[in-house]
């Protein structure tokens, strides 16, 4: 959340370029553009300061209704136990 806020404020208030924001935050320009597009889609191309503050202070809501519940079967448990045993053995050897 702080990363998005930093990107939006750097772009809107400080007038920094997308390239400079990406360089300073250590991320790709595509990611910076994505965050800016999400922001502009939510509040418009030229929002007032109150709308910008409201967007930046709202907690994001994630839709988890389409997530598939994963079930750990006995065969998966056996594989996990085998890996853990092998890791313990390798750790004891150094």
- Return the closest-CA partner of residue 8 out of 54, 71, 70, 65: 54
Could you report the per-residue pLDDT of 27-80, keeping only the tens digit for each?
999 999 999 999 999 888 778 888 888 888 888 788 888 888 888 999 999 999
- CATH architecture of the domain with residue range 2-57: Orthogonal Bundle (1.10)
Q: Where are the domains of the chain?
A: 2-57
Query: Terminus-to-terminus CA distance in the chain, angstroms?
Result: 41
* Alpha-helical segments (H) within 1-94: 2-12, 18-25, 29-43, 49-57, 74-93
* Rounded Cα–Cα distance for residues 38 and 3 (Å): 14
Q: Does residue 1 carry a pLDDT above 70? A: no
């Amino acid at each position: 959340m702080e990363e998005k806020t930093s990107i939006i404020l750097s772009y809107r208030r400080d007038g920094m370029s997308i390239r400079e924001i990406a360089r300073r935050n250590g991320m790709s320009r595509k990611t910076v553009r994505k965050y800016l597009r999400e922001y502009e889609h939510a509040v418009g191309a030229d929002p007032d300061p109150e709308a910008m503050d409201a967007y930046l202070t709202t907690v994001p809501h994630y839709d988890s209704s389409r997530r598939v519940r994963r079930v750990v079967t006995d065969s998966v448990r056996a594989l996990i136990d085998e890996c853990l045993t092998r890791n313990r053995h390798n750790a004891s050897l150094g």
